[in-house]
Structure 1
């Protein structure tokens, strides 16, 4: 089946995101835009996934649990999981590798934790846009152990991407899917990086505000509408 997706959305837990990026607002906007599946990918945290999990029970929208990790090399990686429990397992790894630097909300923004009623129940104290002490290779290994998939984020950008910071994608990582931005000229990008032709390329919004969430414009063929099917497809090689 063919599904419309947006696998890169930040809630108000990400300091660079709008405070109205609450669970109900995000889900309802995604439904209004006709999406079948979305992923919540806050910077270095899964702590808002519980509210999304609770809300998804009664919504005609699949929530894929995820996180956007900043590696030791300051590379952004999308990490998506088959289950909320596996994503929560990754939170323990984040907690042990995130630098103990306090967030300055006046400079970086709020880091809001919501309940399923969109009430702010806490504010995360440590700065979530810091780089973890894990390398790209180590993140891939940890996520693989939790049956997840790693997708290098916005690889066509000039900062915080695996190409801008490392120059290439090592075949040892066994990456099969990469993310490009909505502004990417795919033909010229592939001409410049010919070895990337065989990688699956997905386009997400990287939404930090409600209006940025994608319409029905990015599609993925999957066996069925489930996190497991989506992860399996994103892990598979392009034929």
Structure 2
């Protein structure tokens, strides 16, 4: 069965995300877009994942809990997990590796924790878009300890991307897939170093109008978090 997906979305907990990106608003927009499977991947935190998963379920969507981790090399890596509880456990580990910088709401925006009914529960005062001291090659193993999968984000971009930092795809890195943006240049996927890399496309939406209509799909035997993770692990 084919299911339309977007596995890289941000909420109002990401400082560069709009405050309109509440868990409920985001889930509603995904449903309106015709998506079947979605994932919340805020910067270096899973704090709004449980609320988003509940809001998505209420609207008939399957939602995965995730985190977009910034490595010590300034590479963004999306980590997805089977349940919000496991994502939150990984979050606890990650918080020990996030550099202790304070957020400036006037500059970066507020970082809001919300429930599935759009009630503000609190505000994170850490700078969540900072980088961690975790190495790029560590993340697949660390995510796997919590049942998760990791893949490098938007590798076609110059900033915060694996290719932007390393220049070439390193086949020794244990990533089963890689993400490109919707604006990926024509011919990018035929680069010689990417000939054995399976590419997926996600929106990386930070604003409601960046949630696109259903376009990219995955073939799964069932609509479940484990089926999605198996599909990603196949590489």
TM-score range, shorter chain: over 0.9
Match of 1:228 in 2: 226
1: CA distance between counterparts of 2:124 and 2:3? Answer: 34
Q: Which moved more, 1:20-29 or 1:85-94?
A: 85-94
Tell me the CA shift for residue 58 of structure 1: 2.7
Match of 1:127 in 2: 127
User: Structure 2 length as normaliser, TM-score?
Assistant: 0.96
Match of 2:118 in 1: 118
Give the number of equivalent residue pairs: 235
Q: Deviations over 1:23-55 (max 9, x none)?
A: 110111111111001100000000001212333
1: CA distance between counterparts of 2:137 and 2:196? Answer: 20
Match of 1:138 in 2: 138
Q: Secondary structure at the match of 1:233?
A: helix
Q: Secondary structure at the match of 1:7?
A: strand
Match of 2:194 in 1: 196
Q: Secondary structure at the match of 2:24?
A: helix
User: Structure 1 length as normaliser, TM-score?
Assistant: 0.94
Q: Deviations over 1:210-233 (max 9, x none)?
A: 111121111111121111000100
Match of 1:44 in 2: 44
The answer to whether the 8 Å contact 2:53/2:64 transfers is: no
Q: Secondary structure at the match of 2:69?
A: strand
Q: Deviations over 1:59-100 (max 9, x none)?
A: 310001111000000000011112222211111111101111
Match of 1:211 in 2: 209
The answer to whether the 8 Å contact 1:6/1:35 transfers is: yes
2: CA distance between counterparts of 1:133 and 1:185? Answer: 31
The answer to whether the 8 Å contact 2:6/2:39 transfers is: yes
1:164-179 alignment runs, 5 A limit: 164-179=164-179
1:79 aligns with 2:101: no
2: CA distance between counterparts of 1:206 and 1:8? Answer: 5
The answer to whether the 8 Å contact 1:24/1:117 transfers is: yes
1:7-46 alignment runs, 5 A limit: 7-46=7-46
Q: Secondary structure at the match of 1:4?
A: strand
RMSD, matched Cα: 1.2
Match of 2:63 in 1: 63
74 and 16 in structure 1: CA distance in 2 versus 1, 3 angstrom threshold? same
2: CA distance between counterparts of 1:56 and 1:10? Answer: 14
1:160 aligns with 2:160: yes
Q: Secondary structure at the match of 2:209?
A: helix
Q: Secondary structure at the match of 2:159?
A: coil
Q: Secondary structure at the match of 1:129?
A: coil
Tell me the CA shift for residue 56 of structure 1: 3.7
Q: Secondary structure at the match of 1:171?
A: coil
Q: Secondary structure at the match of 2:195?
A: helix
The answer to whether the 8 Å contact 1:204/1:214 transfers is: no
